[in-house]
């Protein structure tokens, strides 16, 4: 299938997915781009995924607020205007700061993130997740929780 240009206007966006308390809007799926994926992520204070890794690259651009990132054994606070790039296989997590925040994220070739976010939205109750259920859903898309 040939690649085609496209635009996603605010009124055309799919509904936001509730992914463990965070609202994630799929702006471009790998089906649309035939490769990478782009997401708008909004989260209240304290939300974000547990430590995990996946077989695709991922980058985050903080639009609003502060976001605490854990990358391997290190952590850092990213403020608006910060770009964080994570190569495939990197164990990482993040938490939105005190006033919540917003990020644009993009995944690399081979991403299964949009399918995973959709499955989590459908199968995992909002709020503090059942980690065993979350692990089961996430692993179907190649994500590995790193909870010890």
pLDDT in tens, 14-54: 999 999 889 999 999 999 999 999 999 999 999 999 999 99
Q: How many CB atoms lie within 10 A of CB 19?
A: 25
Contact predicate 53/144, CB 8 Å: yes
For residue 92, the enclosing domain spans 15-141
Per-residue pLDDT tens over the stretch 45-90: 999 999 999 999 999 999 999 999 999 899 999 999 999 999 999 9
Query: Is residue 85 a part of any domain in this protein?
Result: yes
Residue 116 located in a structural domain: yes
CATH number of the structural domain spanning residue 68: 2.60.120.10
Q: State pLDDT tens for residues 104-147.
A: 999 999 999 999 999 999 999 877 778 889 999 999 999 999 87
- Total domains in the chain come to 1
Q: Which residues 6+ apart lie within 8 Å of 16 measured at CB?
A: 23, 24, 25, 42
Cα separation, 44 vs 126, whole angstroms: 13
Is residue 8 domain-resident? no
Structure tokens given for 52:
């995990």
**64 is a domain residue:** yes
In a domain, 148, yes or no: no
């Amino acid at each position: 299938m040939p690649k085609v240009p496209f635009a996603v206007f605010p009124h055309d966006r799919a509904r936001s997915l509730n992914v463990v308390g965070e609202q994630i809007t799929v702006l471009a799926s790998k089906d649309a781009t035939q490769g990478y994926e782009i997401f708008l992520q909004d989260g209240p204070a304290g939300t974000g995924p547990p430590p995990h890794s996946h077989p695709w690259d991922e980058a985050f651009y903080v639009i609003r607020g502060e976001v605490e990132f854990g990358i391997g054994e290190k952590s850092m606070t990213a403020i608006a205007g910060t770009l964080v790039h994570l190569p495939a296989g990197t164990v990482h997590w993040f938490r939105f700061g005190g006033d919540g925040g917003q990020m644009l994220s993009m995944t690399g070739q081979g991403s299964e993130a949009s399918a995973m976010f959709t499955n989590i939205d459908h199968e995992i109750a909002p709020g503090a997740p059942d980690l065993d259920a979350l692990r089961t859903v996430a692993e179907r898309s190649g994500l590995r929780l790193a909870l010890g």
